[in-house]
């Protein structure tokens, strides 16, 4: 991993918290009368829930400051921040100061020349944030904000939590006069306008961001505080409209708001070895008065904790200046459940069979996230122990690595992949993948054992698996339909596991002919799935893109089933652990001091069964977001769940299986090379400890 600073003593507490609190909006319309805000009542709520740390606002998302800021004229009559720090620290609760760097309506009003601008001098579109003022980090706002952080660090805080930090990812932003000057300083002579969207422009943005983080850290040192700086979006490869490099934060910190996404981001973050938190809210969103269901909050808490994360949960202050009493009670109960399992949740390492490659570059990830999340969904829904890899790092953590369509592969990645496969690792490569010189040979041609012959531009193709293992798990006996173009390839060392068919209209798919281009009348039987042996490992190639989304996904499980069967094939049919259960049950396995800890998470309580994919927003809004439909018959149950382990693959032969915290022992049996046991029913979540 590029990140060198994996553990920092001053941030050890970040790793230890299973749950953390984060209140929002203690003033504004929600509490029109400031006298009602009851600092002691809220401090007691934190204590009752059992939080050991909280992130609290020193300056609102859009301003104002919640302490008496020295250089503002919109201060409130009360030092909300200082009162809280005092009340919480008195109760041994650590406080990180939330400070919104990116938005500030007061500063933007007083100094519109400090705001982010496009090339025509126009303000950026900030409707997403409901704030008109996106502050530019190259402008004097930067020094103003650092000065305010000095004021905040006079309180006994344990660090900063910075929101909306950095210059915008959008290549059309920022081109203000300050950025023009700062860029010329940074790059030496080059003109920013000429550099729009270039690598140089991006590096300038990253540099501005990192410089701010380091200066904020120095502020804390200057005041004798723990130099812990966290910024929102550290470790989050998606969505946000501002630059988010992975490095520099003492904790990765990602707004998830969805337990399925927590599993994906949690896996991604675990690769760094850094502390990380996954954020959501106890209410339905950040600024909302209606609670989420208890089951959803509990699922989020365990979805985060199963990954070794801190579940950082938002609270909205009621108009009476307190928290909802019902919310306090249920959060206390959920935190108590987490703490009761604390010894099995802290200090674990994950067990993986399959890794899905994502990108460490946010610009690229925005392009390919739909494909990455689809493969992640496939693996989760197939109950494969899966990792989400930050680029091509940590390949050796699993026996199979899937490279979704469109992921950029550079020379260093190719060297790493060749070493991985030569040593016994296995790859799944999905078309389209990188070529030499535009449309030339495959960049991975040695690994693939294929010659590229061109790209078929039909709107639809069929893949017909041949190997019997690819027909398992309820797989259809018909060829499967894959939307989009496909690669024509010739075998050059690889063997064929399945065919690519340009024209195939069986009777039950006959209606689809309306959606297909006029088919080739005499289609050749081309390779659709291939396998190449390379060193001690194997490389599977799929000529059409299984991860490509289609409105038909909600009734078409076959791409997922085929992806799962390909992974199982490359695992020699020996997954380290798997379960027999419906697609909404997620399996997590961790290792810890001679133990294996299994988590079963029931996403029947999740708001969506699949990962959000911003690139198919039109599908989402049409109500046809891909679902977790599967093909294994009627087993979508929460009754007894069969768990199957391969002790050799786990490197451990458990002699006992026990439900936690219930303590009930489960009978272990052996069948050929696998150990089996049955979990009696599943509510929201179940932990099983194997020793």
Q: What are the residues binding Zn ion (CB under 5 A)?
A: 136, 138, 174, 176, 179
Please state the closest distance from residue 430 (CB atom) to Zn ion, in A. Answer: 39
Judge whether 408 and 199 are in contact, CB under 8 Å. no
Please state the closest distance from residue 237 (CB atom) to Zn ion, in A. Answer: 24
Q: Which residue, 139 or 371, has its beta carbon nearer to Zn ion?
A: 139
Please state the closest distance from residue 180 (CB atom) to Zn ion, in A. Answer: 8
Judge whether 644 and 579 are in contact, CB under 8 Å. yes
DSSP-assigned letter for residue 33 = S
Please state the closest distance from residue 137 (CB atom) to Zn ion, in A. Answer: 7
Return the bridge partners of 589, or none: 598
Nearest to 405 by CA among 385, 434, 379: 434
Rounded CA separation 304/119 (Å): 41
Q: Which residue, 88 or 144, has its beta carbon nearer to Zn ion?
A: 144
Please state the closest distance from residue 175 (CB atom) to Zn ion, in A. Answer: 7
DSSP-assigned letter for residue 63 = B
Spatial neighbors of 517 by CB under 8 A, at least 6 apart, are 457, 458, 459, 460
Greatest Cα pair distance in the chain: 81
Q: Which residue, 3 or 210, has its beta carbon nearer to Zn ion?
A: 210
Q: Which residue, 116 or 679, has its beta carbon nearer to Zn ion?
A: 116
Q: Which residue, 138 or 335, has its beta carbon nearer to Zn ion?
A: 138
SS (H, E, C) 381-398: HCCCCEEEEECCCCHHHC
For 211, the token pair is 């410089």
Q: Which residue, 134 or 443, has its beta carbon nearer to Zn ion?
A: 134
Please state the closest distance from residue 241 (CB atom) to Zn ion, in A. Answer: 14
Rounded CA separation 630/607 (Å): 18
Backbone angles phi, psi at 307, to 5 degrees: -90, 5
Please state the closest distance from residue 167 (CB atom) to Zn ion, in A. Answer: 7
Direct distance between the N- and C-terminal alpha carbons of the chain, in angstroms, rounded to an integer: 31
Q: Which residue, 167 or 494, has its beta carbon nearer to Zn ion?
A: 167
Q: Which residue, 179 or 610, has its beta carbon nearer to Zn ion?
A: 179
Q: Which residue, 179 or 571, has its beta carbon nearer to Zn ion?
A: 179
Cβ–Cβ contacts within 10 Å for residue 363, how many? 14
Rounded CA separation 233/387 (Å): 20
Please state the closest distance from residue 163 (CB atom) to Zn ion, in A. Answer: 18
Q: Which residue, 174 or 481, has its beta carbon nearer to Zn ion?
A: 174
Please state the closest distance from residue 174 (CB atom) to Zn ion, in A. Answer: 3
Q: Which residue, 94 or 209, has its beta carbon nearer to Zn ion?
A: 209
Rounded CA separation 417/414 (Å): 5
Please state the closest distance from residue 63 (CB atom) to Zn ion, in A. Answer: 19
Backbone angles phi, psi at 441, to 5 degrees: -60, 160
Dihedral sign computed on CA atoms, order 609, 612, 615, 618? positive
For 179, the token pair is 């950025």
Rounded CA separation 326/84 (Å): 22
Nearest to 233 by CA among 211, 209, 252: 252
* Residue bearing tokens 């959501």: 280
Please state the closest distance from residue 88 (CB atom) to Zn ion, in A. Answer: 36
């Amino acid at each position: 991993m590029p990140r060198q600073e994996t553990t920092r003593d001053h941030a050890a507490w970040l790793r230890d918290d299973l749950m953390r609190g984060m209140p929002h909006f203690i003033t504004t319309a929600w509490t029109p009368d400031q006298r009602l805000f009851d600092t002691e009542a809220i401090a007691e709520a934190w204590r009752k829930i059992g939080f050991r740390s909280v992130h609290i606002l020193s300056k609102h998302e859009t301003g104002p400051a919640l302490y008496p800021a020295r250089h503002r004229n919109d201060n409130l009559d009360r030092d909300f921040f200082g009162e809280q720090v005092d009340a919480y620290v008195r109760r041994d609760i650590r406080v990180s100061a939330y400070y919104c760097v990116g938005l500030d309506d007061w500063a933007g009003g007083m100094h519109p020349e400090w705001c982010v601008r496009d090339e025509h001098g126009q303000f950026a579109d900030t409707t997403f944030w409901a704030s008109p003022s996106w502050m530019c980090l190259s402008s004097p706002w930067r020094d103003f904000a650092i000065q305010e952080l000095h004021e905040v660090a006079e309180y006994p805080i344990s660090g900063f939590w910075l929101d909306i930090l950095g210059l915008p990812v959008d290549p059309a932003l920022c081109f203000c006069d300050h950025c023009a000057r700062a860029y010329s300083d940074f790059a030496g002579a080059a003109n920013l306008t000429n550099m729009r969207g270039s690598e140089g422009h991006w590096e300038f943005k990253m540099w501005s961001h990192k410089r701010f983080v380091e200066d904020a850290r120095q502020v804390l040192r200057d005041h004798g505080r723990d130099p812990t700086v966290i910024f929102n979006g550290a470790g989050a490869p998606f969505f946000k409209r501002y630059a988010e490099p992975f490095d520099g934060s003492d904790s990765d910190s990602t707004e998830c708001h969805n337990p399925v996404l927590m599993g994906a981001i949690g896996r991604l973050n675990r690769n760094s070895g850094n502390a990380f938190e996954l954020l959501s809210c106890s209410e339905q969103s950040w600024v909302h008065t209606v609670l989420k269901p208890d089951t959803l909050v509990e699922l989020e808490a365990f979805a985060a904790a199963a990954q070794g994360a801190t579940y950082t949960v938002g609270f909205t202050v009621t108009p009476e200046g307190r928290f909802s009493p019902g919310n306090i009670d249920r959060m206390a109960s959920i935190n108590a459940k987490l703490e009761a399992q604390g010894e099995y949740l802290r200090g674990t390492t994950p067990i993986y069979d399959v890794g899905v490659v994502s990108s460490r570059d946010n610009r690229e990830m925005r392009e390919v996230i739909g494909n990455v999340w689809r493969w992640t969904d496939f693996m989760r829904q197939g109950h494969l122990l899966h990792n989400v890899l930050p680029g091509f790092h940590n390949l050796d953590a699993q026996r199979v690595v899937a490279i979704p369509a469109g992921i950029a592969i550079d020379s260093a990645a190719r060297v790493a992949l060749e070493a991985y496969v030569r040593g016994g690792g296995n790859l799944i490569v999905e078309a389209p993948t990188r070529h030499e010189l535009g449309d030339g040979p495959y960049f991975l041609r040695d690994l693939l054992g294929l010659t590229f012959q061109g790209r078929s531009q039909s709107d639809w193709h069929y893949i017909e698996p041949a190997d019997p293992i690819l027909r398992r798990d309820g797989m259809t006996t018909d060829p499967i339909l894959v939307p989009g173009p496909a690669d024509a390839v010739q075998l050059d060392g690889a063997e064929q596991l399945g065919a690519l068919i340009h024209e195939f209209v069986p009777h039950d798919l006959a209606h689809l002919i309306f959606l297909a281009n006029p088919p080739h009348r005499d289609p050749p039987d081309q390779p659709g799935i291939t396998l190449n042996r390379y060193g001690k490992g194997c490389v599977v190639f799929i000529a059409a893109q299984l991860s490509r989304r289609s409105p038909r996904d909600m009734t078409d499980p076959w791409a997922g089933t085929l992806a799962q069967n390909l992974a199982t094939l490359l695992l020699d049919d020996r997954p380290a652990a798997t379960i027999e259960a419906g697609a909404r049950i997620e399996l997590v396995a961790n290792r810890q001091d001679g133990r294996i800890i299994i988590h079963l998470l029931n996403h029947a309580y999740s708001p969506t069964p699949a990962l959000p994919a911003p690139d198919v927003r039109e599908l989402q809004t049409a109500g046809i977001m891909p679902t977790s439909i599967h093909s294994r018959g009627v087993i979508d149950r929460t009754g007894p769940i069969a768990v199957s382990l391969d002790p050799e693959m786990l490197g451990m032969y458990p002699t006992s299986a026990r439900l936690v915290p219930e303590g009930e022992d489960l009978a272990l049996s052996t069948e050929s090379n696998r150990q089996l046991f049955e979990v009696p029913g599943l509510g929201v979540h179940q932990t099983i400890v194997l020793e």
